[in-house]
């Protein structure tokens, strides 16, 4: 009995001593379980001299014609936010989700360039390194801005772009958004930002949110440097260029988006002539708040533009079922 009490006391002491750092371990464990269940893996690619860590789904013999999809996260985020959506698209696409330089496991150094232009050049190089000529690009916030830049200046490498709440390259939205990130200096400020990002956030244990808050605050100086580079990217694209985009464009927006005003969604629609889908009960991070509905909207868009490749069937039907992922 005393052994059990001692053991429990020791566990509680370790928990309190490591709080909230234990939240990072919990997040990593949950992430690894999801990756194993849905056949995703982490890989590293050296792109233009920078080791970029990505999350990607493994290949299957019956899916060898799948087109490439690259998902781009927002500022102060990482590749993990896309996994709930990616697992719903893994059968149709080779999904690659990079930790953009300056974020996540790819890391940060003062010597790297974090402008939209340079980041986009790295992504084009990644597409080629993966053995593809083109990719479908899906971006949220800052990632959506990179998708727009790629569609304008690297159109031959882009099959289509999906924009989830782009921050805006020529408006005050970018500066307002980045300033809001920079004001986070305490867990209380982080929780306020967390609720601003999502209208319907998924349930998250407090220890995980506290760990995320601590990490966010620790990374403020890094984010400040990245923000400076992003601010210099605000006037790279003109309205006339947006009106002449070659790749197909689809805009997804949350009607409860408190970070980027819905009026900007209408502006993007008018400039690009793109189809737009508004989820009136969601916020800025649609792929986290409702990955199922977001996946459904994407599948509808890709089916309309013939973005799906037909699955190559094996000679024997039993081989098809044998190679299907569980």
Tokens read off for 140: 């949220």
Burial 152-175 (b: 16+ CB within 10 A, else e): bbbeebbbbbbbbbbbbbebebbe
- DSSP string for 171-230: STHHHHHHHHHHT--SHHHHHHHHHHH-SSPPP--HHHHHHHHHHHHHTHHHHHHHHHHH
Query: Could you tell me the domains of the chain?
Result: 2-309 (3.40.50.1820)
Span 107-162, pLDDT tens digits: 999 999 999 999 999 999 999 999 999 999 999 999 999 999 999 999 999 999 99
Tell me the C-alpha distance between 244 and 161, whole Å: 14
> Which of the residue ranges 158-167, 285-294, 301-310 would you say has the lowest mean pLDDT?
301-310
Res 244 pLDDT > 50 = yes
Q: What is the pLDDT of residue 2?
A: 65
Total-model pTM: 0.87
Tell me the C-alpha distance between 159 and 178, whole Å: 29
Tokens read off for 77: 């985020």
CB 35 within 8 A of CB 41: yes
Per-residue pLDDT, averaged over 28-34, amounts to 89
Q: What is the pLDDT of residue 8?
A: 63
- Place 313 in a pLDDT band, splitting at 50, 70 and 90: very low
Res 321 pLDDT > 60 = no
Tell me the C-alpha distance between 268 and 286, whole Å: 17
Q: In 3D, which of 213, 266, 270, 216 has the Cα closest to residue 245? A: 270
CB 81 within 8 A of CB 289: no
Tokens read off for 89: 């698209």
Residues 6 or more apart whose CB falls under 8 angstroms from that of 19 comprise 207, 210
Orientation angle between helical segments 116-129 and 142-153, nearest 10 degrees: 70
Q: What is the pLDDT of residue 325?
A: 44
CB 181 within 8 A of CB 142: no
Span 210-240, pLDDT tens digits: 888 888 888 888 988 998 888 877 667 888 8
> Which of the residue ranges 13-27, 82-96, 252-266 would you say has the lowest mean pLDDT?
13-27
Tokens read off for 297: 């909207």
């Amino acid at each position: 009995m005393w052994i059990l009490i001692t053991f429990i006391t020791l566990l509680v002491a370790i928990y309190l001593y490591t709080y909230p750092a234990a939240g990072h371990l919990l997040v990593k464990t949950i992430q690894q379980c999801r990756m194993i269940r849905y056949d995703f893996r982490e890989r590293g690619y050296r792109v233009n001299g920078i080791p970029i860590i990505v999350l990607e789904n493994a290949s299957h013999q019956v899916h060898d014609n799948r087109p490439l999809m690259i998902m781009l996260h927002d500022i102060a985020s990482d590749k993990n936010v896309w996994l709930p959506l990616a697992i719903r698209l893994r059968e149709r696409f080779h999904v690659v989700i990079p930790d953009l330089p300056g974020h996540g496991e790819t890391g940060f150094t003062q010597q790297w360039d974090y402008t939209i232009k340079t980041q986009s050049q790295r992504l084009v190089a990644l597409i080629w390194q993966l053995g593809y000529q083109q990719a479908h690009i899906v971006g949220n916030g800052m990632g959506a801005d990179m998708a727009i830049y790629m569609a304008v200046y690297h159109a031959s490498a882009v099959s289509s772009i999906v924009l989830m709440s782009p921050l805006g390259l020529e408006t005050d939205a970018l500066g307002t958004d980045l300033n809001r990130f920079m004001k986070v200096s305490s867990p209380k400020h982080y929780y306020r930002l967390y609720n601003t990002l999502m209208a319907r956030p998924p349930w998250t244990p407090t220890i995980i949110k506290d760990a995320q808050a601590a990490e966010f605050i620790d990374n403020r100086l890094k984010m400040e440097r990245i923000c400076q580079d992003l601010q210099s990217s605000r006037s790279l694209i003109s309205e006339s260029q947006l009106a002449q985009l070659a790749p197909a464009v689809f805009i997804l927006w949350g009607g409860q988006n408190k970070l980027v005003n819905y009026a900007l969604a209408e502006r993007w629609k008018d400039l690009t002539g793109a189809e737009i889908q508004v989820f009136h009960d969601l916020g800025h991070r649609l792929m986290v708040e409702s990955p199922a509905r977001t996946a459904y909207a994407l599948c509808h868009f890709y089916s309309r533009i013939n973005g799906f490749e037909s699955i190559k069937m094996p000679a024997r039907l039993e081989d098809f079922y044998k190679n299907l992922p569980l």
